[in-house]
Amino acid sequence: MVTWMVFTRCLVLNLSDVDAFGLTLPLTTLMVSADISMESQTPAPEANQASTTGAMRWTVHVEVRLKPRASSRFDTIRNLVHSYVTSFERLVLPSTLSGWEDIPELLSSVERISVCEAQCPTASLKMEEMVIQAHVYQPSDGDAFEEFSNSSGSRGEDDDTMAASICELPNRSYEGLWDSLIYAGDIKMKLLDYIHATLVLSDANVDFNLVSWNRVVLLHGPPGTGKTSLCRALGQKLAIRLSHRYSHARLLEINSHSLFSKWFSESGKLVQRLFNNITELVEEEDGFVVVLIDEVESLTAARAGAMAGTEPSDGLRVVNALLTQLDKLKTRKNVLIMATSNLVKAIDTAFVDRADIIQYVDLPSREAIYEILRTCLCEMILKGIVASVTIPTLKQVQMYELVSKVNGRSDVADGQERSRSIGLRLLALAFQCRKQGMSGRALRRLPVLALARYIGLGNVGLAPGPSSSSTQPTAGRSSPSVSVEIWLDGMEKAVDEQAKEAEHLT
């Protein structure tokens, strides 16, 4: 993340005529949305946003997180942030801004201002090339979870399993999740574009008999590739981006396994009861509801089994009830159903057919692994566990790799030599992890394995007490930080060990 501190006065745009996705007229945005969602093409800028010079402009989203107890009006903050951001000459995408602390009203209320990634082909844009969309939000605290019980009250305590949990969005516990998920393809943007497209068509009031969609997204792929996390992160993103339209948003996570009642023939009713509750939530038209059906194969595998005569007909009732309920929800504007699966082949085809987007989430590529491991190391540098050093970005290390392949030698200044060799070593480790088919989950636990087994807890030592702020390096750490080379060594050994363990499993 790069921080820009260039102050130049620029024009301030009228925020009231653009909606959450930077749109003005639905008809023109229709063309825009079709343009930007085509993956293989270089995306076109927002054609509807002509600047004073007549040039095309990109919509750039700026997210403004408020402090927990800030009481300023959102629109006051939005206007202040908008004036502040448009005073920059150029913005890096994505980046975290600083310098706003000099404005007292922002200092007292704002926690963080971040500029989000955009579809544009360059890493930064001039102010006259952008239309700024500022989204102000105040995440609720993580533990405000409620649960839906499955109990009908008639069978006593035993049947009282939790069918779903619900939390308010945006939620503090999902902050940073979106950015932490790294994929080789443009999965995240593709999902946002899908929502964008449904909003455009909904706003245009297209006849649902002629053009329709189901509001269902299915993510599938190997375990540990971030599917569940991506659904939560998308819910969080939507809650932030759609706050202009909806006063609140909720994420409801269905516990698929709990929807099977031990009482034969009751499961279909459980699904129906749960969806009655969901429908009640969706009836609040100023609220947006994201429903996450995690590991949906456990719910929907049943029908295929039932048809083959191997499953009790209760399973059939569950799938039928689910399909009926999904069909009822599709006409609602303020709901999104996200389902995940590790085993898409096991899912009922009627369910798969209802998904507007069926997205395969693959194991991370070498490049994505590099970024995942780099963010692990950067976090530990930030917290003072790894000694401070510059770890090259993916683009930089790819350049180093190219140059050393062509020249067979390093082509950097002396001061950069260490950073270059760290980068190349991390890239080699990423290649090793890729060869073993390691998941994002396995990668993110490498540092803890390296620490426990190879670096030695004694070398890192425990901080004197819990850090007062989770974003600041731990001041006064009793033991010195360990060099990144030692960490790389430990992580390489941990990967080798995992490879040996994997051989035993096969």
Ligand X SMILES: Nc1ncnc2c1ncn2[C@@H]1O[C@H](COP(=O)(O)OP(=O)(O)O)[C@@H](O)[C@H]1O
Name the residues that contact ligand X, by CB under 6 A.
180-183, 223-229, 340, 364, 372, 440-441, 444
- Give the nearest distance from C-beta 222 to Mg ion in angstroms: 11
Give the shortest CB-180-to-ligand X separation in angstroms.
6
Nearer to ligand X, 133 or 225 (CB): 225
Q: Judge contact between 281 and 289, C-beta under 8 A.
A: yes
Min. distance of Cβ 375 from ligand X in angstroms? Answer: 8
- Under rule CB under 5 A, which residues in 346-375 are in contact with Mg ion? none
Q: d(Cα 458, Cα 277) in Å, to the nearest integer?
A: 52
Residue number, 364 or 447, with CB nearest to ligand X: 364
Q: What single string gives the DSSP state of each residue in 271-297?
A: HHHHHHHHHHHHHSTTEEEEEEETTTH
Looking at the Cβ atoms of 172 and 245, the one nearer to ligand X is 172
Examine residue 404 and tell whether it contacts Mg ion (CB under 5 A).
Answer: no
> Closest distance between Mg ion and the C-beta of residue 305, in Å?
22
Q: Is 241 exposed, middle or buried (0-12, 13-18, 19+ CB in 10 A)?
A: buried
- The one of ligand X, Mg ion, none whose footprint includes residue 183, by CB under 5 to 8 A per kind, is ligand X
Judged by CB, which is closer to ligand X: 235, or 440? 440
Q: Which is nearer to Mg ion, 79 or 228 (CB)?
A: 228
What is the number of other CB atoms lying within 10 angstroms of the CB of residue 260? Answer: 20
State the angle between helix axes of 394-407 and 366-382 in degrees (0 to 180), rounded to the nearest 10. 120
Backbone region of residue 452 per phi and psi (left: phi > 0; alpha: psi in -120 to 50; beta: other values): alpha
CB atoms within 10 A of CB 106: 19
* Contact of residue 181 among ligand X, Mg ion, none (CB under 5-8 Å per partner type): ligand X
Q: Is there binding between residue 483 and Mg ion (CB under 5 A)? A: no
Site for Mg ion (CB under 5 A): how many residues? 1
| Cα 361 from Cα 364, distance rounded (Å) | 9
Residue nearest to ligand X (CB): 440
For the beta carbon of residue 42, count every other beta carbon within 10 angstroms. Answer: 9
Site string for Mg ion, 235-274 (x = CB under 5 A): ----------------------------------------
Residue 441 binds which entry of Mg ion, ligand X, none, CB below 5-8 Å type-dependent: ligand X
**255 vs 267, beta carbon nearer ligand X:** 255
CA distance 86 to 155: 61
Kind of pairing between the strands at 95-96 and 110-115: antiparallel
For the CB of residue 73, give the shortest distance to ligand X in the complex, in Å.
35
Rounded distance, CA 501 to CA 506, Å? Answer: 9
Which residues, including other chains, have CB under 8 Å from residue 425's CB and lie 6 or more apart? 488
For ligand X, the closer of residues 180 and 320 by Cβ is: 180
Contacts of 256 (CB under 8 A, 6+ apart): 293, 294, 295, 296, 298, 299
Q: Which does 148 bind (CB under 5 to 8 A by kind): ligand X, Mg ion, none?
A: none
Closer to Mg ion at the Cβ: 9 or 441? 441
CB of 232 to ligand X, least distance (A): 8
Contacted entry of Mg ion, ligand X, none for residue 257, CB cut-off 5 to 8 Å set by kind: none
Contact status, residue 234 vs residue 274, Cβ threshold 8 Å? no
Identity of the residue, 81 or 352, whose beta carbon is nearer to ligand X in the bound complex:
352
Closest distance between ligand X and the C-beta of residue 343, in Å?
Answer: 12
Q: How far is the CB of 362 from ligand X (least distance, A)?
A: 9
Residues 179-238 that bind Mg ion (CB under 5 A): 228
Say how far apart CA 44 and CA 28 lie, in whole Å.
Answer: 13
Q: Tell which residue, 275, 272, 191, has the closest CA to residue 237.
A: 191
What residue ranges bind Mg ion (CB under 5 A)? Answer: 228
